[in-house]
Structure 1
Amino acid sequence: MSNPNATFRGVPLKHLSLVTLVFQNSMLILIMHYSRIMPAVDGVRYHTSTSVFLNEVIKLSISATVALYDIAKNLPPGTPATTLFSTLFSNVFAGDSWKLAIPAAMYTLQNSLQYVAVSNLDAATFQVTYQLKILTTAIFSVIMLGRVLSVKKWAALGLLMAGVAIVQLPQYTPEPAVQESKAAEAKRWLHAIAGRSATYQGIGEDEGPIMNKSVGLMAVLIACALSGLAGVTFEKILKQSSSTKQASLWIRNCQLSFWSLFPAFFIGIVWVDGQNIATDGFFAGYNWIVWTAIGFQAAGGIIVALVINYADNIAKNFATSLSIIVSCVASAYFFDFEITLAFAVGTGVVLAATYLYTQPDAPKQTTIAPLEGTTTGDSEQAVPLMTRGRPSSDRESSDHMRPAEKPE
């Protein structure tokens, strides 16, 4: 664990990491949402399977680099590079680390579903609804790990469901005119930031895809279920495997990212989008917006790790709550998102439930081990690990071990 009082040029790393997490969480969902509704590039829309794969490649590269640095610090100066790489290899593939392929595959599918969700839901609605992963993590922890939750935490979970329901109710009957207005606003925003001329020949056909609220809601609900199941499975594997349990933060991230490459490539790129990618090309539809979304998603795990090292879980969840508010305001400004009374009330209930759930229970018998971790992502609560986009330091859930959830 790093020194919690460490500073960077006089600024406490605790504060710097939290501010960075708020910015990353907010911008990730907004950019992912925009990258999916923006007009196609040269008539072709990028394939999400390629972005998910590249996200894992980047995270593996970063994790391996930092892991090599940590290994080098513990070895004598002048140690050959071959020794460093062989040590890294033996640490990553030690014992039964292959079991991490199970949660890694779940995280990969979760990341793919996040793209589907943000393609069909407003960024703010997705952010609020995605907090249901707190509920799924709690339920799987009770079922698979035998945890006992206090009455207060069950009440918080009930509030969470109520808040999400309030947010979703008005979304079931969107008026076509409102949807067209949002699509038009998104299109105008793209032309404004890209500086596209009004004489652009394809401007008439550059319409973004139509959002389907039902599809988006279903995708985010399945993603929440996978987030909880993957996190708890990860934690269970860590507790049952001595070799994996003793691995460092960055070695675990290497393991998860490495095993995620296989489902991302063979299922996503080869099976799902193989024919289209063969026709259009791997990087078809890519532009700076798509690359920015991939970069933000990959950086999420690193930021989560910093927050875990220099702050704590309560501070992390406070940052997550702030990012939800920022996303709501930004969605209203950039995407003409209408913040209704129902949405405001539902968001308030979700934030209150998240705060209540993360508060420690009153001292009680040592036989009760309440679930402490919560959201992110995606990420997240448990052992201090980089997640797909989601973190936590209370050692309860493992969604943050990954990155990232994937948009925390």
Structure 2
Amino acid sequence: MPKTSANRYFTSTAVFLNEVLKLSISIWVAYLERRKVDGPKVPVAKSIKHLCGDVFRPDNWKLAIPACLYTLQNSLQYIAVSNLDAATFQVTYQLKILTTALFSVLMLHRNLNAKKWASLIMLTVGIAIVQLPAAAKSIPDNPEMNRAIGLIAVAVACTISGLAGVYFEKVLKGSNTTLWVRNVQLSFYSLFPAFFIGVVAKDGREILERGFFDGYNNVVWSAIGFQAFGGIVVALCVNYADNIAKNFATSISILLSFIASIYCFDFEVTIGFMIGASIVLFATWLYSAPDGLIPKWKQEYIPLEQADPKSDHDGKGHEGEEIVGKSSIDGLKRSD
């Protein structure tokens, strides 16, 4: 491993290595899937050729769109963080939950009733409240911050986040191409903006002076590994569920991270955290609860002509209708 210096590592190099790691894992799993399809009698070279044909099929360009969108989203996040205090950024960035739901309705024609929209709004509010205590302890405001630019950047970033996620889901579920081949395509196209925009254009001069791996240590390498693993898990979640479920899973994971911090880093539990966590958990339950979970107590009105003519009932409602309730009225008979 390269020697670690006192300098901070370049985030652009970490993003690039994250994509390289995701690409490597995806290629390996896609190759294993290809071998399973081809069978042991097919030569390895031919399986590799088949895999290349799967990856560079005519519609592979579709994954260049979310790759560019994700790169733009990351750039806007940096702009937003540079121009907003941490608390404002954490709260406003949760709007990506709602933009994801909106694009799911527009692009995937997903039906979300009032209960589901209410649960999504509650999730947005709850996770914002949960993250406020940690954001309040962050670095103080910089007098050179431009709040208007920061808010515009975070609003556009939230919109792009929802659009890119739903577009990726649409491409993923709209063809017979496997998840791992799509992951290879996405990571492949993500390498170009990560390298040329991040590594070369943004930090190229300093990287030449200090080295590509300057500032790297075990923590940085671990972060890159977890980030790559998280990206693959997100793709799995989108493939087998959807982007909305992914947002709920992400919110629950944030709660679990804060709970782990209580034991590992003496994180102080506040009333706000308890309220926010409760809202998140309730929103998760509400979204997944069946629509008919709460019973509706009402009477059923059966027209008189549909009733059994031999019945001994003589209770009649208005306009010739017999009232039949859901209770013991059905079993009552007139005594002689």
Where 2:58 maps in the other structure, the secondary structure is coil
> Among 266, 286, 297, which residue is 1:356 paired with?
286
Instruction: Tell me if structure 2 keeps the 8 A contact 1:103–1:231.
Output: yes
Following superposition, the deviation at residue 275 of structure 1 comes to 2.0
The residue correspondences of 1:106-117 to structure 2 (distance < 5 A) are 106-110=69-73
Distance 2:86 2:154 in 1: 9
Q: For 1:220 and 1:328, how far apart are their aligned partners in 2? A: 24
Amino acid at match of 1:81: V
Deviation at 1:300, TM superposition (A): 2.2
Match of 1:234 in 2: 168
One-letter amino acid of the counterpart of residue 234, structure 1: F
- When residues 223 and 334 of structure 1 are mapped into structure 2, their CA distance, relative to the original with a 3 A threshold, is farther
Question: 2: distance between equivalents of 1:311 and 1:98?
Answer: 24
* Aligned counterpart, 1:257: 187
Mapped partners of 1:50, 1:359: distance in 2: 43
1:304 Cα deviation (Å)? 5.1
Over the aligned positions, Cα root-mean-square deviation in angstroms equals 4.0
Aligned: 1:270 with 2:204: no
How much does 1:358 deviate? 3.8
> Which of 134, 139, 157 is the equivalent residue of 2:120?
157
Q: Does residue 342 of structure 1 match 2:300?
A: no
What CA distance in whole angstroms lies between the structure 1 residues aligned with 2:165 and 2:238?
16
In structure 1, what is the Cα distance between the partners aligned to 2:86 and 2:94?
14
| Pair 1:50 & 2:13 matched | yes
Name 1:133's counterpart in structure 2. 96
Give the TM-score, by structure 2 length: 0.68
Equivalent-residue separation in structure 1 for 2:168 and 2:232 (angstroms) = 18
**Equivalent residue pairs, number:** 282
Q: State the percentage of identical aligned residues.
A: 59
What SS does structure 2 have at the residue aligned with 1:96? helix
Consecutive unaligned residues in structure 2, runs of 5 or more: 294-336
CA contact (8 A) 1:321 1:351 kept: no
Tell me by how many angstroms 1:140 deviates. Answer: 1.7
Q: CA deviation at 1:62?
A: 0.9
Unaligned runs of at least 5 residues, structure 1: 1-40, 180-209, 364-408
Flag the structure with larger Rg. 2
Higher alpha-carbon deviation: 95-104 or 308-317: 308-317
Contact 2:63 2:182 in 1 (8 A): no
TM-score in terms of structure 1 length: 0.57
Question: Whole-Å Cα distance in 1 between the matches of residues 257 and 171 of structure 2?
Answer: 34
Matched, 1:328 2:258: yes
CA distance in 1, matches of 2:274, 2:21: 36
Provide closer, same or farther for how the CA distance between residues 224 and 79 of structure 1 changes in structure 2, counting only shifts above 3 A.
Answer: same
1-structure distance, mates of 2:218, 2:164: 31
Q: Hey, what's the Cα distance between the residues in 2 that align with 1:78 and 1:211?
A: 64
Q: Give the C-alpha shift of residue 223 in structure 1.
A: 5.0
